[in-house]
Amino acid sequence: MPSTRPLFGFHAVTARLRQRADSVEAIYIDAARRDARARELIARAEAAGVAVHAVDAARIAALGGGTSHQGVVAIVDARRPHVTIDDVLAGLTETALLLVLDGVTDPHNLGACLRSADAFGAQAVIVPKDRAVGVNATVAKAASGAAETVPVVAVTNLARTLRELKAQGIWVLGAEAGGESLVDADVSGPVAWVLGAEGQGLRRLTRENCDRLVGIPLAGGVESLNVSVAAGICLYASRAARMRATAHARLPSP
């Protein structure tokens, strides 16, 4: 496994500088970019002691693998800090909100799920080590910086991990059509949302280890949602339910 990898896009590179500047080896930026966004990134990198190289567009494209790099590529340490479920749970400062992905293989979907996890306050995303995509450059770009802020915990046995979460008092909710309506479900407590792979849904053993199955009611003609869209809806539902509960608790007694 290579010790470094490319990280591209302004959001992803800026987030890495903010979170782990010591893991950035160098930054390459398109010499034609002289806008405020480029200047801000260069200033941040120089303040962190990271070398910035102005190069032509062809070099950027080669470093970024021809992807949508926005004219900036960083060479970063490929190793991610090792984080376990116990680490995440021990560090909680508020009610647990976790996202579990059962075999998501599309890097763009994983990146989008990380963005939702960051936006709605999930403390970690849990994925199986096998038959699932890991965090790579494409995932980091799609995550727009969230790959640097949300821990991704890879586990060897997903079913066992779900049982361990339940033993810690966390409700394991499987998102699946035909389950209890999300409109009626109580999702305000400590929750781990479990979503299945694209097109396949939850595996049997994963489904059996969920406390409840919850479905998102759909009004249109489509039968299902993209996993990243469904993840965002489920995480937002938990976040909104907690905010309502907190607001209600603050109301003066009649």
Which of 129, 84, 79 is closest to 104 using CA atoms? 129
For residues 89-113, average pLDDT: 92
The residue behind tokens 């979907």 is: 109
Q: How confident is the model at residue 253 (pLDDT cuts 50, 70, 90)?
A: low
Beta strands in 48-187 (DSSP E): 52-55, 72-77, 97-102, 124-128, 152-155, 171-181
Q: What pLDDT sits at residue 1? A: 47
C-alpha of 236 from chain center = 14
Burial of 187 (0-12, 13-18, 19+ CB in 10 A): buried
Residue 68: pLDDT over 80:
no
- The Cβ of residue 30 has, within 10 Å, a number of other Cβ atoms equal to 20
Taking only the tens place, the pLDDT of each residue in 18-48 is 878 888 999 999 999 889 999 999 999 999 9
Question: Which residue segments constitute the domains of the chain, with CATH numbers given?
Answer: 4-77 (3.30.1330.30), 85-249 (3.40.1280.10)
Radius of gyration of the chain (CA): 20
> 23: which 2 tokens?
């893991």
Q: Which residues contact 39 (CB under 8 A, 6 or more apart)?
A: none
Question: Which pTM was predicted?
Answer: 0.74
Which of 120, 89, 113, 88 is closest to 239 using CA atoms? 120
Q: How confident is the model at residue 252 (pLDDT cuts 50, 70, 90)?
A: low
Residue 90: pLDDT over 90:
no
Q: SS3 helix, strand, coil % of the chain, rounded to 5?
A: 40, 25, 35
Taking only the tens place, the pLDDT of each residue in 153-206 is 999 999 999 999 999 999 999 999 889 999 999 999 999 999 998 778 899 999
